[in-house]
Structure 1
Amino acid sequence: MRIPKTAFVFLFLHIFFLNFTFAQKLSEVDKIVAKYPKSFNTTEKLADKIENDFNSDYDRARAIYTWIALNIRYDYNAYLNPPKMRGFTYSSEAEKQRKIKQMNDDLIQKAFNSKKAVCEGFTALYQHLSTLVGIKCEIVRGDSKTSVRDIGRKTTSSNHAWNMVLIDKKWRLIDVTWGQGYYDSSKGRMVNDFAPIYFDTDPDYFFAKHFPDSGSFLGSRLSKEDFLNGPLIYNKTIEEDYKIKAPDFGILEVRRGDKIDFEIKNVSKSNQVFYLNKKNQAVKVQNPKEKRGGLEFEILIDNNVGDYITIFVDTNSIVSFKILPK
């Protein structure tokens, strides 16, 4: 069944009011930082302005996030064609540390001046600015999930980096690289789309999409298997707090004719809920039931369901699962 006309009207309105939505999701800190110059002579001048404009460490950390996300673009060409690793020689530990610091300083200045970076540049610049305003900040390297192909994959190499900042005796999770936008494969380019959700993200959502090389967070062990085999969630899932209660596993082994039970919190019958079949046609879920603050529904696994199934709520992708035949 094709998606009703009302859903296409909603899609039109969604696109038409993108600027309005952007304005809505800006906090008071963001609104101030959005008026900052796009360029400063030095990182110290930017840090001084942030320190003077905001009184709390939390607002300063947010201001750094917002300025970087609004002004530094992801360098996709550098991601596809990474520069060769620079080697160096040293005769003492002190000389080694000086050269490492110089390489890091060069990385920071390149991101700051060129307004382009990959995740290493984003995280190094964020840490540098945080240090300048007196906030303790760490860089964390690890794995990430960004597409349906990541569900159940076997390769586990480190491919991303993010930050943690210590504010009010609590470590906050930050991914300013993802805060600036995303890669649109259909357009073949990066899309600038400020996403405040990756500042001080709820750990449950954050670690559904990130896995640290250490395998732990604040002393708690995380499961790499659960990370790799879990469903893929999207920005709107975090933004709207759509908790995926069922299925809780990203790989669904099914036979044709099976029915899969789904449960998503903070969704109701007033939402347009559908999925796309393998012909890219929208199929509205049938007979959804509102229970326990969410929506429960079934999806029949028939010949029109492809290798993946993605649930949409009001034109936004919410969660994807991988379909495997039993």
Structure 2
Amino acid sequence: MPIKKIVFIFLLLNIIFLNFTIAQKLSDVDKMVAKYPKNFTTTEKLAERIEKDFNSEEEKARAVFSWIAFNIKYDYNSFLNPQRVQGFSYSSEAEKQRKIKQLNDNLIQKTFNSKKGVCEGFTALYQHLATQVGLKSEVVKGDSKTRLADIGRKTISSNHAWNTVLIGRKWILVDVTWGQGYYDSSKGRMVDDFAPIYFDTDPDYFFAKHYPDSGTFDGDKISKSDFLNGPLIYNSAIVEDYKIKSPDSGILEVKNGDKISVEIKNVSKSDQVFYLNKKNQPVKVQNPKEKRGGLEFQIAVDANVGEYITVFIGNASVVSFKVIRA
């Protein structure tokens, strides 16, 4: 075997082993934090416990993420019925900043004590605890992409918030609100479902579902067009690293008789792959081909294809596209 190939394989195996080791270490953090009390008298007491139990910046950042995700519930009623924005007067910039800080401190304590909140409370509490354990963290406000109707939206809105936290010299992305669970429309309630994928998320996945108000991350410009017009990806795509290679647009302009070519990385013929027709009936993909570490298949456009196409692998939804008839 050529030396270059041996070196490549060696490096690849080292990367795989390192990623596995890191994932295992963070999983151990989650297990330890899950045994913490649900209630601490103060945020300082919680921070002291985290600093006592963990040494590395990454472990501390993950412990803050895990504790909030395990113990703070999303307040869907407050989301549906938001309080009026609290205004205030001030006579100087210093007074303005003091009052803004007081409002933020009140939000942190309310979220911590009531064990519920919306994204502003989750992110403010995360930043506060991260600071207390010696980390630098920021709150980022922006747009989120969660529904089929978000594919091909024309405008950006500021409807969500998340955090960045500095680990070593790298800013990582954290969405602790999404880490704690999700809203199940069929059940009409929030579902607790710890999602560690929203800690140190791959930016490619993260910005398929988030768009910062600044339009940038760590100095790099984020494509607004890719966010608005890209496909809608689901948690399973991030968990299993199902990279969507094609179509690269979430908007498919087609006519009956066309064939849509789909290519997804890290999928094989042994996986059960299907999509839903307009009656929400599963249609198994025909003649899939393994290609470049993934699976390629075609979806025939006919009268049974509806306004959206959602691809499933096993029982999990992976990606959705919007169909526009030419």
Asked if these proteins are the same fold (TM beyond 0.5), I'd say yes
Deviations along 1:178-204, whole A, 9 cap, x unmatched?
000011111111111000000000101
Cα distance in 1 for partners of 2:34, 2:145 equals 29
Aligned twin of 1:246: 246
Aligned twin of 2:228: 228
Is the CA contact (8 Å cut-off) linking 2:139 and 2:162 kept in structure 1?
Answer: yes
Cα distance in 1 for partners of 2:92, 2:295 equals 63
Cα distance in 1 for partners of 2:126, 2:39 equals 15
Partner SS state of residue 27, structure 1: helix
Cα distance in 1 for partners of 2:252, 2:242 equals 20
Cα distance in 1 for partners of 2:154, 2:72 equals 32
Aligned residue-pair number: 303
Q: Which amino acid aligns with 1:220?
A: D
Runs of 4+ in 1 over 2 A off after TM superposition: none
Is the CA contact (8 Å cut-off) linking 1:73 and 1:115 kept in structure 2?
Answer: yes
Does residue 259 (structure 1) correspond to residue 232 (structure 2)? The answer is: no
Cα distance in 2 for partners of 1:298, 1:76 equals 39
Q: Which amino acid aligns with 1:294?
A: G
Aligned-pair CA distance for 1:25: 11
Aligned twin of 1:27: 27
Matches within 5 A, 1:53-64: 53-64=53-64
Aligned twin of 2:96: 96
Aligned twin of 1:15: none
Per mean C-alpha deviation after superposition, the further-off stretch among 213-222 and 78-87 is 213-222
Q: Which amino acid aligns with 2:67?
A: W
Cα distance in 1 for partners of 2:32, 2:219 equals 36
Cα distance in 1 for partners of 2:257, 2:187 equals 36
Aligned-pair CA distance for 1:90: 1.4
Cα distance in 1 for partners of 2:222, 2:61 equals 26
Aligned-pair CA distance for 1:42: 0.3
Deviations along 1:68-112, whole A, 9 cap, x unmatched?
001001111000100011111112222211111110000000100
Is the CA contact (8 Å cut-off) linking 1:25 and 1:196 kept in structure 2?
Answer: no
Aligned twin of 1:3: none
Is the CA contact (8 Å cut-off) linking 2:307 and 2:322 kept in structure 1?
Answer: yes
Q: Which amino acid aligns with 2:320?
A: S
Is the CA contact (8 Å cut-off) linking 2:26 and 2:62 kept in structure 1?
Answer: no
Q: TM-score, normalised by structure 1?
A: 0.91
Q: Which amino acid aligns with 1:63?
A: A
Partner SS state of residue 270, structure 1: coil
Matches within 5 A, 1:1-326: 27-326=27-326
Aligned twin of 2:7: none
Aligned-pair CA distance for 1:155: 2.8
Cα distance in 2 for partners of 1:107, 1:155 equals 29
Unaligned runs of 5+ in 1: 1-23
Q: CA RMSD, aligned part only?
A: 1.1
Cα distance in 2 for partners of 1:191, 1:265 equals 29
Q: TM-score, normalised by structure 2?
A: 0.91
Aligned-pair CA distance for 1:39: 0.8
Partner SS state of residue 309, structure 1: strand
Identity fraction in percent? 75
Cα distance in 2 for partners of 1:191, 1:26 equals 23
Cα distance in 2 for partners of 1:268, 1:175 equals 30
Using CA pairs under 8 Å that are at least 6 residues apart, name the structure with larger relative contact order, 1 or 2: 1
Is the CA contact (8 Å cut-off) linking 2:26 and 2:59 kept in structure 1?
Answer: no
Deviations along 1:102-128, whole A, 9 cap, x unmatched?
100000001000011100000000000
Cα distance in 1 for partners of 2:199, 2:205 equals 12
Q: Which amino acid aligns with 2:228?
A: L
Deviations along 1:253-295, whole A, 9 cap, x unmatched?
0001110000000000111100111111110000001111100
Cα distance in 2 for partners of 1:136, 1:95 equals 25
Give the 3 Å change call, closer, same or farther, for CA 27–131 of structure 1 in structure 2.
same
Cα distance in 1 for partners of 2:92, 2:253 equals 57
Cα distance in 2 for partners of 1:57, 1:80 equals 36
Cα distance in 2 for partners of 1:25, 1:41 equals 28
